[in-house]
A = this chain, B = another copy of it.
Amino acid sequence: MAEMAEGSLPHGGRLRAAAHHWRIPLQHWLDLSTGINPQGWPVPELPPTAWQRLPEEEDGLVMAMSAYFGTAPILPVPGSQAAIQALPRLWATSRVGIVSPTYAEHAQAWRRAGHAVREIGFDDVERHLPMLDVLVVVNPDNPSGALRPLAQLQAWRAGLAARGGCLVVDEAFIDATPAHSLIAEAGRPGLVLLRSLGKFWGLAGLRCGFVLGPRTIIDALHDEVGPWALSHPARWVAQRALADAAWQASTRERLQRDSARLADLLAANGLESTSGCALFRWLPLGRARELHDHCARKAILVRHFPEPPHTGIRIGLPADEAGWEKLADVLGAWQP
């Protein structure tokens, strides 16, 4: 069935496949293969109307988005992935640079739409910028977790905007570190920001993301995705999650603490994570496959990136003390 082709690029979160492959029942696994907050925003029971009625525009989501993101033009989308798929269709054939290696769906989507895509190391952007119409940056990067300097991104936006170009920044993982976001620039010419409820809020199943940008781009994207693109449950949950400032504040603290704890635990076992963000750490590692398999045999799923020269492991946060203990045990048995 077509279902089987889903995610033609390999992705994290494929726990069922791992359980099958390693012949360990699903419920025994500790899934650290994603960068998703394992203690997500607690979704209350929904009113029946959220399932039954078409979502309506005047439901309060617009106000909640304004309060959290500010008043730049914004479009809620069914997952930031939906925006990644649709955005490239808004440009005539263009020269597109993707700061790489990074989340592979960006390059794939721009190529699919017929653009000339080049993947560029962060340090090479300056050199390529004059030859680009669009530049895509993931910040913090995925899988490295590297935070990109704001001043640098601002300069690139200005350079691109001056000649009608555009900087696209995927900020899916930024909410734990909001000071690093370009959100204050949202709505300015030549800047598109992608945000998500999937990572920081831990609501990846919900499929809810946001695109901020100049009015013309947001309107065109809206036409592209069509009416009722976002489910009513997603709208209902989103406006409450965006408004829950107390949960957001305590979650930011907890994630920073847990991320530091994870870096320490890795280092204590001879695994130096050279970079990371609040939601995951990155281990560049020649023996990445070995470490992945070592963990999997003990029912811990981490994310293996096999492509040289950037082989490595991305590892997310355990949800609870039992998870931390299990991870400590398994890493303790690793021979660095």
Contacts and interface: CB of A to CB of B under 8 A. Distances in A.
A85 B225 contact: yes
Contact of A231 (B34, B50, B207, B224): B207
A231 B36 CA distance: 16
Number of copies: 2
B222 A58 contact: no
Interface residues of A, number: 79
A61 interface: yes
Contact of A55 (B34, B45, B85, B205): B205
A92 interface: no
Contacts of A231: 78-79, 205-207, 231, 233-234
A1 B73 contact: yes
B51 A226 contact: no
Contact of A52 (B53, B112, B203, B226): B203
B54 A2 contact: no
A247 B230 CA distance: 27
A3 B54 contact: no
A13 B54 contact: yes
Interface of A: 1-9, 11-17, 20, 34, 36, 38, 40, 42-43, 45-46, 48-59, 61-62, 65-66, 73-76, 78-79, 81-82, 84-85, 105, 109, 112, 198, 202-207, 215, 218-219, 221-234, 237
